[in-house]
Amino acid sequence: MSQVNGAFWSGFRQGLPFILVIVPFALLFGVIATEAGLSIVETLGFSVVVIAGAAQFTALQLMTEQAPTLIVLASALAVNLRMAMYSATLAPHLGKAPMWKRALAAYVLVDQVFAISSLEYEKRRDMSVAAKWSFMIGTAAPVVPLWYLATYLGAYIGSAIPPELALDFAVPITFLAMIGPALRTLAHIGAAATALAVSPMLIWVPHSLNIMLAGIAAMIVGAAIEKRMGGV
């Protein structure tokens, strides 16, 4: 039991620095969501149910453009496809945990939690399944509740902002801030360049589908570059 408790608090300490990223990001989402017409309850529910920043901003942008619900859902799902890879990576470590534990782990599986947990599992291969699960929940403990709270505060603040002070510009700026630090390899840069080239070429496609098509093209190019460089 001491190993399990120790794993939880170790994960908690390693998750704390991500508060500096999570809080302003959630605040911004709350503000923009209310600017887009969502109520405080709807905005908070969005964060509780989806709990995926990039997908939430993508869906919100399409909603403001009056895109069909199916397009909104498909686009958000496409953005979150990386979660399938995260799950496949962690399955050998948590696959033998009880169903309810795996369900909770899947719910809190955000980028930061995955990054910390996967590194810890590789570094400490002697951890039990219970300790691995406890560590993962520990990393999520300071992140997830503050995501909810900051979303609520952002929505509350956003509801008080006059309509004439629109914040439409904040969504594209947010995406630029998210993408910039991710451009670490030639494959990443090639994928981003492809998306930048393809999206304007397909601007005529209705319901902002040019964004999804550009994303698919970017993934293909990025995978091709990675394969040519011997990454897979």
Distance CA 70, CA 76 (A): 10
Which range among 69-73, 115-119, 205-209 shows the weakest confidence by mean pLDDT?
Answer: 205-209
Report the percent of the chain where pLDDT is more than 90. 29
pTM more than 0.85? no
For residues 15 and 186, the model is more confident at: 15
Q: Which of 48, 55, 36, 22 is nearest to 158 (CA)?
A: 36
H-helix or E-strand spanning residue 29: helix 19-35
Which range among 40-44, 72-76, 205-209 shows the weakest confidence by mean pLDDT?
Answer: 205-209
- Look at residue 231 and tell me whether its pLDDT is greater than 70: no
Distance CA 70, CA 62 (A): 11
Domain ranges of the chain: 2-159, 183-228
Most confident option among 28-42, 52-66, 130-144, 167-181: 130-144
